[in-house]
Amino acid sequence: MKKAFIYLFLLTITCSCYRTNVIYYSKNIKKTIHNLEEMERWLRQDYENGDIPEHIAHNYMVVLVNSKCSLYKKLDEKSKEDCFD
């Protein structure tokens, strides 16, 4: 799990260097979910702009969605989409 967060952190740095979005550093799970949703948005933008190929975007999206769903599960909340059990 630590490796996944390291990759997510590196992806955040790579994708967000030139954007001015709000990213939180917090132990609050909802803020962490917000950060993952921001990363999802950046990933979609990078893919749509042709900055990354589809298979790489898909692999990162799987990690982001699964991480977000794990956090929703920890909160005992259902996600709006993407998550299923």
- When pLDDT is cut at 50, 70 and 90, the band that residue 4 belongs to is low
Give the pLDDT confidence score for residue 75 in this predicted structure. Answer: 86
Whether 83 is covered by a domain: the verdict is no
C-alpha span between 44 and 25 (Å, rounded): 22
Number of domains in the chain: 1
Whether 82 is covered by a domain: the verdict is no
pTM of the model: 0.64
Whether 84 is covered by a domain: the verdict is no
Whether 57 is covered by a domain: the verdict is yes
CA 13 to chain centre: 12
Task: Note down the domain range covering 60.
Answer: 2-16+25-75
CA 12 to chain centre: 8
Task: Give the contacts of 34 (CB within 8 A, at least 6 positions apart).
Answer: 24
pLDDT per residue over 21-65, tens digit each? 677 777 888 899 999 999 999 999 999 999 999 999 999 999 999
- When pLDDT is cut at 50, 70 and 90, the band that residue 9 belongs to is low
Whether 81 is covered by a domain: the verdict is no
Query: How far is the CA of 21 from the CAs of 35, 43, 50, in angstroms?
Result: 10, 14, 21
